[in-house]
Amino acid sequence: MKIFLYACLVLFFVSCQFEETLTINEDGTGQANIMFNGNEMMQAMGEFAQMGDSISGEKKEKAVDSTIYFKDVLKEKADSISKLSKEEQKKLKRLKNVSINYVVDESNGKFKLDMKFPFKRVKELSDFYELFDLMDDYGPDTGASKQANKEEDPSPYDFTETSYTYKPAYFERSTTVINQEEYDKIVKKTQTALTMFEGSTYTYKINFPKKVKSVSHPKALLGQDLKSVVINLSMADLFSSPHAMDLKVEFQDE
What's the chain's length in residues?
254
> Which amino acid, one-letter code, is at 187?
V
Among 152, 252, 236, 56, residue whose Cα is nearest residue 244: 236
Q: Helix-strand-coil percent breakdown of the chain, rounded to 5?
A: 40, 30, 25
pLDDT score recorded for residue 112: 86
User: What is the Cα gyration radius of the chain?
Assistant: 20
pLDDT score recorded for residue 4: 35
Taking the C-alpha atoms of 83, 85, 90 and 91 in order, what is their torsion angle to the nearest 10 degrees?
A: -100
**pLDDT reading at 129 higher than 80:** no
- Greater model confidence, 136 or 185: 185
pLDDT in tens, 50-89: 545 544 455 667 888 999 898 898 888 888 888 888 888 8
